Amino acid sequence: MGEVWTLAEFRHGELSSVSYELLNRGKNLSQKLDTALASVILGYDIKKEDIDELIARGADKVYVVDDKNLENFLVESYANVLIALLDEYKPDIFIAAATTTGRTLMPYVAVRKKTGLTADCTVLDIEEGTGNLLQTRPAIGGNILATIKTPNTRPQMATVRPHSMKPAMPDKNRNGEVIYKKYDESLFKTRSKYLRFIKDESQQVTVQDAKVIVAGGKGVGKEENFAIIDELAELLGGAVGASRDVVDRGWKTYPHQIGLSGKTVSPALYIAAGISGAVQHIAGMQTSENIIAINKDSDAQIFHLANLGIVGDLNEVLPLLIERIKEYKAKEASANV
């Protein structure tokens, strides 16, 4: 039985926390198959602390390719390296996050390896008797769950939604094997050229990294009314989220979209204002620790998920909430003088 591999994402000199989420998923798979769990990390100037952290979070092995040619993400060079590793070590399962990197790289690798790939999985498991990877994902607009397997080709490949599982907790007493690989310069030749990286400046905190999210839906009424959503998010030090309806109307841009066709989030606090609770939206935020829903419709689906529900007009409720928060902050500031 081959190993279970996860793709650790190393971009702009930092290891993404999604790498630890993948290890948590991979641990369950490797234990059921009684095989090793490994992480693959590609990049330039990779820190020893990052490698050690992957081992502490559950990796039995870490395959490291540290090369100047991998400083910036180019799908061809990254794929060439991954395919060389896959051909040499022949893992049974290879999973990555459904991030921009994972959604670009994994299909490219799967096509060249002539194997199957299931995207945006929410559940991964092992089939008894065969050892096949069971890859479950939402289908038909999120109305059903489809379980897919790849019985005839290897590796079995899947991407999973970020923030759909908690990161593995570190154990600094764990030991693991580190395998450094070097490749010939010819492997890094590509038909594309890296020009520059343009950072999204539309929000100070991205929805996937935020501890607090204030999300608005169609019930906000119009684009101008999003000013109170923006103000509340800023007061709470959080990010602004949006439903697909809002993005389709052009009230907010795609990086704010939460749901099956947007981002998956898991903040400490999620405030859903004017969001009815369509299955597609709930799939992207249901792992939030605390959910507050504000909606005029007392029968809105979002109330079934919420820890606290307020039946009312968000354009009346939110200004009151903002006023109270400002009063509290003012008192706190004067007390500290």
pLDDT digit string, tens, across residues 85-94: 999 999 999 9
- What pLDDT is stored for residue 141 in this prediction? 61
Asked if residue 293 and residue 159 are part of one domain, the reply reads no
Among 118, 153, 188, the domain boundary falls at 188
**2-33 pLDDT tens trace:** 999 999 999 888 999 899 999 999 999 999 99
Does residue 196 lie within any of the structural domains?
no
- Of the pLDDT bands very low, low, confident and very high (cuts 50, 70, 90), residue 142 is low
- What pLDDT is stored for residue 202 in this prediction? 64
Q: Residue 182 maps to which CATH number?
A: 3.40.50.620
Among 138, 164, 188, the domain boundary falls at 188
**Contacts of residue 133, Cβ cutoff 8 Å, sequence gap at least 6:** 29, 92, 93, 124, 125, 126, 127, 149, 150, 156, 158
Asked if residue 164 and residue 248 are part of one domain, the reply reads no
Does residue 32 lie within any of the structural domains?
yes
Asked if residue 280 and residue 183 are part of one domain, the reply reads no
* Percentage of residues in the chain having pLDDT higher than 90: 78
Asked if residue 210 and residue 163 are part of one domain, the reply reads no
- What pLDDT is stored for residue 145 in this prediction? 84
Asked if residue 174 and residue 30 are part of one domain, the reply reads yes
**274-306 pLDDT tens trace:** 999 998 899 889 889 999 999 999 999 999 999
Section 302-320 average pLDDT: 96
Q: Range with the lowest mean pLDDT among 40-44, 153-157, 253-257?
A: 253-257
Is the model's pLDDT at 134 over the cut of 80?
yes
Asked if residue 133 and residue 42 are part of one domain, the reply reads yes
Does residue 284 lie within any of the structural domains?
yes
Asked if residue 32 and residue 175 are part of one domain, the reply reads yes
Asked if residue 133 and residue 11 are part of one domain, the reply reads yes
Asked if residue 151 and residue 41 are part of one domain, the reply reads yes
- Which residue from 139, 108, 86, 116 is spatially nearest to 283, judged by alpha carbons? 139
Does residue 98 lie within any of the structural domains?
yes
What is the tally of structural domains in the chain? Answer: 2
- Of the pLDDT bands very low, low, confident and very high (cuts 50, 70, 90), residue 144 is confident
Which pTM value belongs to this model? 0.79
Does residue 269 lie within any of the structural domains?
yes
Among 159, 188, 217, the domain boundary falls at 188
- What pLDDT is stored for residue 337 in this prediction? 65
Asked if residue 170 and residue 51 are part of one domain, the reply reads yes
Structural domain span for residue 29: 4-188
Section 161-168 average pLDDT: 82
Greater confidence (86 vs 162) lies with 86
**177-195 pLDDT tens trace:** 999 999 999 999 888 888 8
Does residue 194 lie within any of the structural domains?
no
Asked if residue 216 and residue 75 are part of one domain, the reply reads no
Asked if residue 276 and residue 169 are part of one domain, the reply reads no
- What pLDDT is stored for residue 294 in this prediction? 97
Q: Residue 302 maps to which CATH number?
A: 3.40.50.1220
**217-273 pLDDT tens trace:** 999 999 999 999 999 999 999 999 999 999 999 999 999 999 988 888 889 999 999
Long-range contacts of 99-106 (CB under 8 A, 24+ apart): 99/9, 99/16, 99/18, 99/162, 101/7, 101/9, 101/11, 101/73, 102/7, 102/9, 102/159, 103/159, 104/73, 104/75, 105/7, 105/75, 105/78, 105/79, 106/7, 106/157, 106/159
Decide: residue 316, CB within 10 A, 0-12 exposed, 13-18 middle, 19+ buried.
exposed
